[in-house]
Amino acid sequence: MENKGRFGALSCAARGEAVCTSIWKERKTLKKTARLQELLHSGKFFPMMGGGCAGHARIAELNGFECAYMSGGSTAVLIHGIPDAGLVTMNDLAANAERMANCISIPLVADGDQGFGNAINVRRTVQTFIRAGVSGIQIEDQPFPKRCGIVKGKEVIPIEEAVGKYRAAVDAKNEIDPDFVIIARCDARGASGGSLEDVIKRVKAYEYAGVDAFLPEALASREEVKAVCDAVKKPVIAGLGLLKPVPSFDELQALGCASAIYAAQTTVFGLQASWEFACDFKLRGGRAVADWMKKLSDSPMPHIFDLVNFAQVAEWEEKYLPADSMKKYQDSMGPYDPRERGVATAK
C-alpha cells in the first residue's frame, strides 16, 4: 500500500509535466472541511504530507496526496528561524496556514499548538483558523509555553482544563462550520511522569467532549498505538516520532489508524539538500552550481515556476490585457517562457 506516486512509471521529464497538468483536474468540488471528514471516516488509511510553507503545500498536492499538514515546528524553523518552543504566535501560525490552505484544493490540517491560552483563547484560535481556509486544527493538551512533540521536557495540563478547552473548540467550530475538524493531540505519554494509561484516560475524556479525532503523541510502540485505537470510536491519527522502524501505510491501517502526520520530513530533507549544496558551493563555486543544475534537470520535480502556476499569469495576460501588451514576449530574453508551459490548475 506504500504510495509510489501515480507517475512513478514515467520518465523524470514526463512525470514533471504530468503532475502539473492532471492532479488539479481530478479534485472533487466537495467543501474541503467535508472532504477531510470523509477521508477520516473512509476506513482507508491516508497520509498527511507535512511542511512549513506554501511551496510545500503545492508539492504535496501535485504529488497526489489527499491532505496536507502545516507543521508548527517547520513554520518556526523555516519562516521565523526560531525553535518550536512556544515562541510562535497564533497570528504567525494562522497567517502561514492561510497561505498554505489557499494555494491548494486539498484539505490542510494546521498545527494550533496549545490553542494560545485557556478555553476562551481557544475559541478565537479555532475561528481564526477556520476563516483562514484551514480544514482542521490540532490542539495539544500542553501548558503554555509548549514544547515540540519530539523534544524532552514536555508537560500536560490537568485533564479537566484540557476537556474545557476541547469543548470550547468544538463549540467555536460549530458556530461557523460544523465540518471543521478538531484534533485533540495528547502529549501525556511523553510528558513528565506520563503513561499509556494516562493517554487512554485522556482521549476517552476528549472523545466525550466532542472532538473529531485524536493524535496521541510519542507512543512508544505499535502495541501502544493499537491500544489507543481500540480505546476510542473516533479516528486516530498516528504520531510517528518514536516508532522505529517507521511503520508502512499497510501496518498503520492494520493497527487501526485513520491517518498519520508526516510533519517535518519535507522540511528536514529539503534543508538537508540546501545545506549540502551550500557546503559544496563554498568549496567548488561555479562547478558545484553546474553539477547541481544537472541534478535538477534529471529530477522529476517540475520547474519551480510550474509548481506555482506561472503559466496561469500568461493566460490571464492574454485574456485581460490589451493585445499590444503581449509583444513584450517577442523582444525580451529569459530561459523560461510561461506561454509554453502547462497550467497546473483547473480553476
Q: What are phi and psi of 287, to 5 degrees?
A: -65, -35
Predicted local confidence at residue 345, as pLDDT: 47
* Residue 120 confidence class, pLDDT cut points 50, 70, 90: very high
Mapped onto helix, strand or coil, the DSSP state of residue 70 is strand
Cβ proximity of 296 and 83 under 8 Å: no
> Treating both helix axes as pointing N-terminal to C-terminal, what angle do 159-174 and 196-209 enclose, rounded to 10 degrees?
30
Decide yes or no: CATH 3.40.50.2300 for domain 14-269.
no
Kindly tell me if the per-residue pLDDT of 28 is higher than 70. no
Predicted local confidence at residue 150, as pLDDT: 66
Which pTM value belongs to this model? Answer: 0.86
For the chain, the structural domain boundaries read 14-269
Predicted local confidence at residue 151, as pLDDT: 65
DSSP 273-294: HHHHHHHHHHHHTHHHHHHHHH
Of all residues in the chain, the percent with pLDDT exceeding 70 is 88
pLDDT tens for 261-310 read 999 899 999 999 999 999 999 999 999 999 999 998 888 888 888 888 88
* Residue 335 confidence class, pLDDT cut points 50, 70, 90: confident
Which of 85 and 7 is assigned the larger pLDDT? 85
Q: What is the mean pLDDT of residues 212-228?
A: 94
Peptide bond into 322 cis (omega under 30): no
